Structure 1
Amino acid sequence: MVNIIKEGIVLEKTELGFEIEGVLNPAIIRSGDYIHMFYRAVAKGNYSSIGYCKLKNHMIVEERSDVPVLFPQCEYESHGVEDPRIVKIDELFYLTYTAYDGVNALAALATSTDLISWEKKGLIAPQIAFKEFYRLAQTKGKINEKYHRYNEHESIKEKKGKPVFIWDKNVIPFPRRINGKLHFLHRIKPDIQIVVVDELEDLTAEFWQNYFLQFNDNVVMTSKHKHEISYLGGGCPPIETEQGWLIIYHSVYDTVKGYVYCACAALLDLGNPQKEIARLPYPLFKPEHDWELKGEVNNVCFPTGAVTENDTLYVYYGAADKRIACASMSLSELLKELILNSIPNEK
């Protein structure tokens, strides 16, 4: 077992209108002397935007913006800008987020050169109805029956005057090109999938049709253990280590008291991240403190950002969908434990 230290709550909601209902699920990146945090802020009516603060060390907030830095401006994000992740690739910061229009939740992207001014690039997730997705994905054989359970939406084709698409969330870029190509993790429930492209402009409707024809080949991680039994999804951006890409993801299992969200860990192959090489058979950490057990959604540890300092890995997570907390651990200890749980001869 890996020794986990729950460092405690980093950020709470304020009385400011844009974050009066809660703060959660932060994107984290170290740049210069600071750790920069871009977090989901929730206003009344469950309308979300992205707030900003910077930390001098892993827990102390030195500066916090009193207005959101990203907020709904387009129809596709009219009900919320949610759950950001951030990396830096080729001197450009990539911030992915979930754009919610009240019906559909789809991944979108904004970029920046300075972490101050952001240019929205629009939706980068497929806009496809479940029926079409299912037809394409089953061309080469059956797919997990849970795709039907989580995405079918009772055959509703239109809601509130908008077409209904499969939800594609937790889109997370790798922090560098691999073999010259951009790699993104994403999640169409219940599994974690991967996308590989030369450039963002390749993410066309034709690309996605061909992608879904090979859908099972693009699934990276599926549920294996009891704490993942309902579904799993991406968490923090991948961390490059000598042993492989360290993936801190989230898992979900159902109980009589509702879903429980845990933080988990796995390794993907450095040269071929479509190949999983190790996974912990138990949660890295799970809800145990009052501030993780009770909130807008109870029993939630939802990891979305991480930084390393020497041999310490700090993982930032949404706690009960109401506040932001941090947990720390030895990176070398975690990697050693993962190697002990290597997966032989898998894709």
Structure 2
Amino acid sequence: MIQVKKEGVLLTKTLFPFEDEGVLNPAAIKESQFVHLFYRAVSQGNHSSIGYCKLDGPLSVVDRHKKSLLAPEFEYECQGMEDPRIVKIEDTYYLTYTAYDGINALGCLAISKDLIHFEKKGIIVPQISYAAFDQLAEESSPINQKYFRYNEHIGALESDKEKSLVWDKNVIFFPRKINGKFYFMHRIKPEIQIVVGVEDLENLTEAFYQDYFSHFNDYVVLTSKYDHEISYVGGGCPPIETDHGWLLIYHGVKDGLNGYVYSACAALLDLENPKEEIARLPYPLFKPELGWELKGEVNNVCFPSGAVVFEDTLYIYYGAADERIATASVSLSGLIKELLLYNKQDDK
């Protein structure tokens, strides 16, 4: 079993109004010896924006903004901007986040050339009703029955149901184009899906997604397999390219007597065809064990969302109990070696 070191709490909430309820789920990107964190900052009333801090090395905070770097501006994000992730593709940074309008939670994109000025590109996931999803997704083959449990909006007010869409979160780009095309993951509960081979993001039209949903099972990357992820899985950190495949740190969820438990998990995907799973750890990479992971705004949560590599050490930044940001570290080569012990081909 691979050994993971819990490095401790990195950021906590402050008295500044934009983050006085909590800080969590950061995006992370390394530039030289510095790490830039873009984190979810929560204010009174559970309204989220995106805060920023800069690290010298993986663990030392040297700059932290006293106000949001990015805040809601449009109707689709009026109730919050949540859970950012970031990658650099060629000369452009792609920051994805979940926009919440009070009814729907949908994946969005903002781009930047300098990590200071961001241009919002809007919602990039499908905007589809539950009824349309139900019809299209089962057009070619039956889908996981859990989709119906998680996506029906049973709790929605009658007046809101006509506005209710399938929630589509955890949008995460691969950090380079594959064969000259964009690839990104997203998550409609309870599985992780992938959008492959997009030449131009302007091509993500309603017609594109109608065709996508009509072959929905073909685009499921990960589904629940082990006990610690039995309820559902979701995206975590942007994939990290290694000689053996894309290293994917994701989150797995198990419903227990005391509610859901969120753990950090690890898998390998094929470099040229990341729809294909190569290997997966049969146990959590790490799970809630310490006080600041067990108790908070939401108990029992380790939610990985950003990762960087220094030499052979992988540093994973995660939301702890939905209230604070913590870091864990692990040997990158050791983790890959461990994953390869559980090659998916060996299951057959």
Q: Give the TM-score normalised by structure 1.
A: 0.98
Q: For 2:110, what is the secondary structure of its paired residue?
A: strand
Q: How does 1:151-170 map to 2 (within 5 A)?
A: 151-154=151-154, 159-160=159-160, 163-170=163-170
- CA distance, structure 2, for counterparts of residue 346 and residue 118 of structure 1: 45
Counterpart contact for 2:153–2:161, Cα < 8 Å:
no
Q: Please tell me whether residue 292 in structure 1 is matched to residue 293 in structure 2.
A: yes
Q: For 2:344, what is the secondary structure of its paired residue?
A: coil
Amino acid at match of 2:222: M
Identity %: 63
Partner of 2:125: 125
Q: Deviations over 1:290-330 (max 9, x none)?
A: 00000000000000000001110000000000000000010
Q: Please tell me whether residue 85 in structure 1 is matched to residue 88 in structure 2.
A: no
Closer, same or farther: CA 286–52 of 1 in aligned 2, 3 Å:
same
- CA distance, structure 2, for counterparts of residue 156 and residue 290 of structure 1: 34
Q: Deviations over 1:270-289 (max 9, x none)?
A: 01000000000000000000
- CA distance, structure 2, for counterparts of residue 157 and residue 341 of structure 1: 45
Deviation at 1:193, TM superposition (A): 0.3
Partner of 1:34: 34
Partner of 1:328: 329
Q: RMSD over aligned Cα, in angstroms?
A: 1.5
Q: How does 1:60-139 map to 2 (within 5 A)?
A: 60-139=60-139
- CA distance, structure 1, for counterparts of residue 268 and residue 112 of structure 2: 29
Closer, same or farther: CA 54–154 of 1 in aligned 2, 3 Å:
same
Closer, same or farther: CA 159–233 of 1 in aligned 2, 3 Å:
farther
Deviation at 1:345, TM superposition (A): 7.9
Partner of 1:273: 274
- CA distance, structure 2, for counterparts of residue 48 and residue 232 of structure 1: 23
Partner of 1:184: 184
Partner of 2:51: 51
- CA distance, structure 2, for counterparts of residue 157 and residue 64 of structure 1: 40
Q: Please tell me whether residue 232 in structure 1 is matched to residue 233 in structure 2.
A: yes
Q: Please tell me whether residue 141 in structure 1 is matched to residue 141 in structure 2.
A: yes
Amino acid at match of 1:170: N
Closer, same or farther: CA 154–332 of 1 in aligned 2, 3 Å:
same
- CA distance, structure 2, for counterparts of residue 261 and residue 312 of structure 1: 23
Q: Deviations over 1:54-86 (max 9, x none)?
A: 001211110000010111100000000000000
Deviation at 1:33, TM superposition (A): 3.6
Amino acid at match of 1:284: L
Deviation at 1:90, TM superposition (A): 1.4
Q: Deviations over 1:201-255 (max 9, x none)?
A: 0100000000000000000110000011100000000000000000000000011
Q: For 1:224, what is the secondary structure of its paired residue?
A: coil
- CA distance, structure 1, for counterparts of residue 130 and residue 309 of structure 2: 39
Amino acid at match of 2:313: T
Q: How does 1:208-247 map to 2 (within 5 A)?
A: 208-247=209-248
- CA distance, structure 2, for counterparts of residue 159 and residue 296 of structure 1: 29
Counterpart contact for 1:129–1:157, Cα < 8 Å:
no
Partner of 1:314: 315
Deviation at 1:101, TM superposition (A): 0.3
Q: Structure 1 regions of 5+ residues with no counterpart? A: none
Partner of 1:262: 263
Counterpart contact for 2:34–2:58, Cα < 8 Å:
no
What number of residue pairs does the alignment pair up?
347
Closer, same or farther: CA 66–155 of 1 in aligned 2, 3 Å:
closer
Counterpart contact for 2:30–2:308, Cα < 8 Å:
yes
Amino acid at match of 2:306: G
